[in-house]
């Protein structure tokens, strides 16, 4: 086998939801009916701002097409027309990606107090869709407003009843399942955007501690492939070093059973990737 000379994600791969630079390939001007456009133009045509558009891509609501030669995400005209033709556009589309940040805003949606909300979130009943790091270097979790409303409609016993035995045990242990629940969602969404076995392995490797990846992938050439295919940091990941250091801890599994789960997934993905490589004579995406 040989190391593939060029390794890069393909259009539906594990690359993160990048909306593209304003005024770039998706800038103003007429676009042929069958052409693809950049993220900035696609967002404008869908009536979404940059963060709403990034969330729509993250959730798979907006599907990226093959990237531009430089790697920038592109969106097919047919994909935009599909979304524009949906019932209730554009309000329904914006409702799908609306987020609320932090406990106070989430409490307002659910009509409960902050103590109960924090317990429900820490015990894993609510799954964040993203995060921010505030100026105090604290994590502010983001939730989909539509999911909160659905939870409020169908889980009234948790909103207004007593503490369940399971929650009581978690609280006694000081558990906080929000990072773990977010990681699970993040990995699932990334895996849903690619069928390539090496890209899938890279997604699973990125959530494992480095020492665990080294044990699972002893071949340095294979680790290079996984590193090259690893997804970028999620949209909203801070650039300031101090805040980025806080956020970085959210990206990696930190409990033994969680590490075992992702390690088992990585082993399975690697088996498929290596089988493909044996068939094609190359290590890496074909």
Q: Convert the pLDDT of each residue in 173-186 to its tens digit.
A: 999 999 999 999 99
Query: Within a 13 Å sphere around the CA of 273, how many CA atoms are in the beta-carbon half?
Result: 28
Q: Are 207 and 252 in contact (CB under 8 A)?
A: yes
Which phi-psi region, left, alpha or beta, contains residue 137 (left: φ > 0; alpha: ψ -120 to 50)? Answer: left
Residues 69 and 109 grouped into a single domain: no
The count of other CB atoms within 10 Å of the CB of residue 131 is: 21
Residues 90 and 7 grouped into a single domain: yes
Residues 171 and 261 grouped into a single domain: no
Quote the DSSP letter at residue 123: T
pLDDT score recorded for residue 29: 52
Per the domain annotation, does 140 fall within a domain? Answer: yes
Residues 275 and 186 grouped into a single domain: yes
Phi, psi of 228 (to 5 degrees): -65, -30
Q: Are 127 and 181 in contact (CB under 8 A)?
A: yes
pLDDT score recorded for residue 281: 67
CATH of the domain at 157: 1.10.1660
Per the domain annotation, does 31 fall within a domain? Answer: no
Residues 20 and 85 grouped into a single domain: yes
pLDDT tens, N- to C-terminus, the chain (286 residues): 333 333 333 333 333 333 333 333 344 455 565 689 999 999 999 999 999 999 999 999 999 998 888 888 999 999 999 999 999 999 999 999 999 999 999 999 999 999 999 999 999 999 999 999 999 999 999 999 999 999 999 999 999 999 999 999 999 999 999 999 999 999 999 999 999 999 999 999 999 999 999 999 999 999 999 999 999 999 989 999 999 999 999 999 999 999 999 999 999 999 999 999 887 766 554 4
pLDDT score recorded for residue 19: 35
Q: Are 48 and 93 in contact (CB under 8 A)?
A: yes
Residues 106 and 160 grouped into a single domain: yes
Residues 86 and 105 grouped into a single domain: no
User: In the block, which residue shows the tokens 């080294």?
Assistant: 214
Among the candidates 176, 205, 234, a domain finishes at 176
Report the alpha-carbon distance of residue 60 to residue 71 in Å, rounded: 19
Quote the DSSP letter at residue 141: E
pLDDT score recorded for residue 173: 96
pLDDT score recorded for residue 164: 95
Q: Which helix (H) or strand (E) holds 256?
A: helix 256-280
Provide, for the chain, the percentages of residues in helix, strand and coil under a 3-state DSSP scheme, each rounded to the nearest 5: 50, 10, 40
Residues 185 and 263 grouped into a single domain: yes
Q: Which helix (H) or strand (E) holds 116?
A: helix 114-122
Per the domain annotation, does 112 fall within a domain? Answer: yes
Residue 24, C-beta contacts closer than 8 angstroms, at least 6 positions apart:
38, 40, 72
Residues 249 and 277 grouped into a single domain: yes
Residues 71 and 120 grouped into a single domain: no
Residues 132 and 195 grouped into a single domain: no
User: In the block, which residue shows the tokens 């409990």?
Assistant: 255
Per the domain annotation, does 202 fall within a domain? Answer: yes
- Report helix, strand or coil for 130: strand
Residues 202 and 167 grouped into a single domain: no
Nearest Cα residue to 15 out of 76, 52, 66: 66
Number of domains observed in the structure of the chain: 3
Among the candidates 176, 201, 220, a domain finishes at 176
Enclosing domain of residue 130: 98-176
Q: Are 37 and 93 in contact (CB under 8 A)?
A: no
Per the domain annotation, does 45 fall within a domain? Answer: yes
Among the candidates 176, 208, 231, a domain finishes at 176
Sheet with 139-144, edge to edge strand ranges: 99-101, 139-144, 130-133
Per the domain annotation, does 141 fall within a domain? Answer: yes
Per the domain annotation, does 69 fall within a domain? Answer: yes
């Amino acid at each position: 086998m040989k190391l593939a000379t060029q390794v890069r994600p393909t259009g539906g791969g594990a690359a993160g939801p990048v909306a593209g630079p304003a005024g770039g390939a998706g800038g103003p001007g007429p676009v042929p009916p069958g052409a693809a456009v950049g993220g900035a133009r696609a967002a404008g045509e869908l009536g979404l701002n940059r963060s709403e558009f990034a969330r729509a891509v993250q959730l798979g609501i907006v599907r990226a097409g093959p990237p531009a030669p430089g790697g920038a995400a592109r969106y097919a005209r047919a994909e935009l027309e599909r979304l524009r033709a949906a019932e209730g556009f554009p309000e329904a589309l914006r409702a799908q990606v609306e987020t609320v940040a932090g406990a106070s805003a989430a409490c307002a949606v659910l009509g409960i107090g902050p103590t109960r909300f924090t317990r429900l979130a820490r015990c894993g009943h609510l799954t964040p869709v993203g995060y921010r790091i505030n100026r105090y270097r604290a994590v502010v979790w983001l939730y989909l407003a539509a999911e909160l409303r659905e939870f409020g409609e169908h889980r009234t016993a948790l909103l207004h009843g007593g503490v369940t035995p399971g929650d009581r045990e978690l609280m006694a242990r000081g558990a906080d399942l929000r990072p773990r629940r977010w990681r699970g969602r993040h990995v699932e969404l990334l895996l849903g955007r690619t069928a390539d076995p090496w890209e899938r392995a890279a997604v699973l490797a990125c959530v494992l501690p480095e020492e665990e990846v080294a044990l699972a992938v002893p071949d340095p050439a294979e680790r290079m492939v996984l590193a090259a295919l690893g997804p970028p940091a999620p949209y909203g990941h801070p650039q300031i070093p101090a805040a980025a250091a806080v956020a970085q801890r959210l990206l990696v599994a930190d409990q033994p059973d969680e590490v075992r789960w992702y390690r088992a997934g990585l082993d399975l993905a690697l088996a498929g990737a290596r089988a493909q490589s044996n068939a094609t004579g190359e290590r890496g995406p074909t």
